[in-house]
Structure 1
Amino acid sequence: MSVLNKNDFEYAGLNSRDDLQAVMGAVTLPSAPAMAEQVTDIPAMYGNQFNGMDYTSRTISIPITIIARGSQDKYNQIMHNLSGLLLSDDPSDNGKEYPLVFGFEPKVTYWGHVTAISDPQFINQGAWDATLTITFVQSDPRATLPQVETPLKNGLNTITVDGTARTEPVIQVVPKRDLKHIGFTLNGGEYGLGPDSDEDQAVAVKPYTQVVNSDVLNTMAEWTNDANAIAQMKTAGKYIYQGEADSNRDTQVLMVKLANGVKQYGTHQPDWYGPGVRFTGMTNSLTNYRVKTRIHHIKHSGTHNGRAMGRVEVLLLDPNGATIGRFGLADSAGGGTPTCYLQITK
């Protein structure tokens, strides 16, 4: 977007000076939209019955000057460019409105459409410099100011924005704990989410029921690396489960065991190898469920950093031990960028 000077305007992303090659004149903004009084003439009544006012569109006239510098070719080029950019012959554009911003009030945006481009009036005959007027109409006569975003605090929130017209807020609620009730008033109306009575709040239904608590890995009681248990865990490619895994009580992380300063991956193999463990925490089958996990992939550097060295993944198993979900990170051969993958079966 070009820099908007005070004597420029921008319509649909087009700068008047750089794109339209025109100089904007003095723009007088109308003080109000077109208004029409709605009344009913009732026979034998003194006066008439007032039924309200219609506030319709607002029209902004933008005078511009084309500087052709004595060249008819330059004048023709600017005129073709002007009409081609401001007016569209694409039927899909019909009905669209675009933003208009003036350099003398860059924070105010008017949404509307061009309804007319007047015939040019030459300033000096033979100089090919001309003036004309672009007619811009707003179907909604209001203008908009920059959006104000503010987080809500506990208790009563009063948010004041610039401008003279009423505006409707957009409220986004992102619960961080069990949500029972949130309420707010909007231009005199009261709105709420969730039950608002003490009786209903006491028995509010949680969206999720926690079946398995977060495993803190303190005891490894529900984890096993028994050969029969982990042999059923199928993943892509050739792999060999071997070595040992351990838990860190401070960070609650499950990782390859470190013994005497050496990671216990097991003996060298030509394919992927390392420890695999299985966690059995759910005691019943659920139709809908949500599992949260976190994995950490480390990319080593050094003599062999061009090799595919690290692969870590989480497998989701059905009651029979078959893999129904897979999420992981792995190095690529030849020192390529690590790959992230997600697989889910139906």
Structure 2
Amino acid sequence: MAKFYGVHLDEVQMPDFVKVVGIQHSILPPVSQNTVEISGRAGAYDFGNEIGTREITLDILVVAEEENVMPQLLEQFGAWLYHDEAKKLVLGDNPNRYYMAKVTGDSNIKESFLVGEGSITFTCSDPYIYGMEKTLLIPDTYAGEVLDVENTGLAETFPQMQFEVTKDVSAFSVVSGDEYVDLGTPYTVDVESPVNISPYLMKDQLTTTNGWTNSGSVEGGTVQGTFEVWNSHCFRQASQDFGTGSNWHGGTMIKPLTTTASNYEMLFYFYISSNVEQVGRVQVCLLDSNGIMRGRFQVKDASIGSSKLQFEGWIYGSGKSNNFARFDLPASITSMFGYIRLVKSGRYYTVELYQSTDSTERNFRYLYGKRFFDGKQEYQDKIAKAQLHLGTSGTAKPAYLEARDLYVISKDVTKNDTQIPLILQVGDVLEIDNEKGAVLKNGVPFYQYLNPTSTFIRLERGNNGVIISPADAFKNGQITYKERNL
């Protein structure tokens, strides 16, 4: 007899005081036929099927071990049930498959002191059943041949693709049958050599402190300690010892850019986690060739007795400072993996803040943005260096802080009409999410070179052929998909 392993929602098991006594769900979600009737023609034209939403109903018993605790148990059960968005729902009769579902409708319980009886309905607006995740690792010897990708599910699915770029290219494409994702323009003999219009002034994943030097000062605080490389992927405070001080204090380091820039884009990735007893800030600064502050951006928790994250941004020039960006993050966000994006283009400054839905995955969503016009041209000094700082304040316990990646890209280069831009450079990571229609470069949306006729790629049931071009422009390529069934 098959064993029932319980019910999990958002990877959390149903409370053990709730017993599932029955599951009601359909073999298929509702299927309707799209037809068009034509006058004078018998029957109708068949334009395929429409798949509706799937519903799953659990018949349950809530069992209390003693009287007068049922209300508290129902509150706990309600907290487990309720989510704003669909979450993974795993039914214990098939623990290797899951639905994307959230509870809807009434949740009435017939209560008799020690036992409550009722039914809970989950709605799956995405009607598919998801199974195992499969990954095809593309060999580094790949030379442009057709890759055989087998979809072992019973329905079409949309793959995720990732490539580490190994040479500068002006175009990149992935093709499967009649579907394709096409980026950039191939180089031809009718134009001059491709030009790099966005050269990196700094491209540092903070896996070594080589090239970085300790600074003797930090804006709004004192220098205490220095950085260490942690787990081969970030800077953090060495030994987590922030020293002492009555104001902000902690480590700080500076690294020069390859050249100065008037127009640029900065991407700074960070992680911060804080609680009601902790205080901390993670900060990135841009300096001129004399080490004078020209931009400062930070996420901090400066409150004791609560956990309240804030984002702040300043620009400096003409003896002035301008705190043009300030944002209080939602109270629900007490820890975040995110990035700050700053673009300086002529007299315009644009800053944006993004948060990932996972502490390790680069699945970012937009949180905040602000634009500033430097009408009097007071903030136009060139930048030449970058500075990082991690700190706490006073005697409060320090929050957990990481500086993860820092990119600075020049926007000073221009091209003429006979030149083609290089869109991907050595070390870039290109990601294509064919389900969401998303293209990311180094975790940041990358649509400016996407061919508008691109259709994105779906894997039909069974074998599918995939071709990637140029074949010699990447390594560690992979194609990942989840099995889907109706």
Taking structure 1 as the reference length, the TM-score comes to 0.50
Q: Which structure would you say has the larger Rg? A: 1
| Structure 1 or 2: more helix by fraction | 1
| Structure 1 or 2: more strand by fraction | 2
